[in-house]
Amino acid sequence: MKQITVTDLAARRQNGDIVVVDVREDEEWAGGHLEGAVHIPMTQFMEREGELPEADELYVMCHVGGRSARVTQYLEQKGIDAVNVEGGIAAWQEADLPVVTD
């Protein structure tokens, strides 16, 4: 499974359009997320995966990396190029990277 650090993800976001998929639950999402991220909670993922945008790669994020790793593996099994974000939103915020709230 491919993985990326939050600092590398932040650099890639500055260099172009990439798709971040946040698989946390609604309450977690409301507390702060990456601007422009696609929100599909893991508990709804299989029924809503048709909502995923077309992209060369999907960067999958959760709170600390466990749920996103499972979703990344699932997407890879389906032939979709997916990358797990190591440490999730917790590492993102610890690195003092920007989040937005609803």
Give the active site residue among 9, 42, 61, 62: 62
Q: How far is CA 27 from CA 31, 41, 46, 53, in A?
A: 7, 10, 20, 23
Q: What's the pTM? A: 0.96
Binned at pLDDT 50, 70 and 90, residue 15 comes out as confident
pLDDT over 90 (residue 16): no
Is 62 marked active-site? yes
Mean predicted confidence (pLDDT) in 53-79: 97
The dihedral region occupied by 52, where left means phi > 0, alpha psi between -120 and 50, and beta the remainder, is beta
Binned at pLDDT 50, 70 and 90, residue 4 comes out as very high
Q: What is the pLDDT of residues 34-64, one digit of tens each?
A: 999 999 999 999 999 999 999 999 999 999 9
pLDDT over 90 (residue 17): no
Structure token digits, residue 102: 């609803």
- Report the helix count and the strand count for the chain, using DSSP H and E: 5, 5
Domains defined along the chain, listed by start: 2-94 (3.40.250.10)
pLDDT over 90 (residue 5): yes
Average pLDDT for the chain: 96
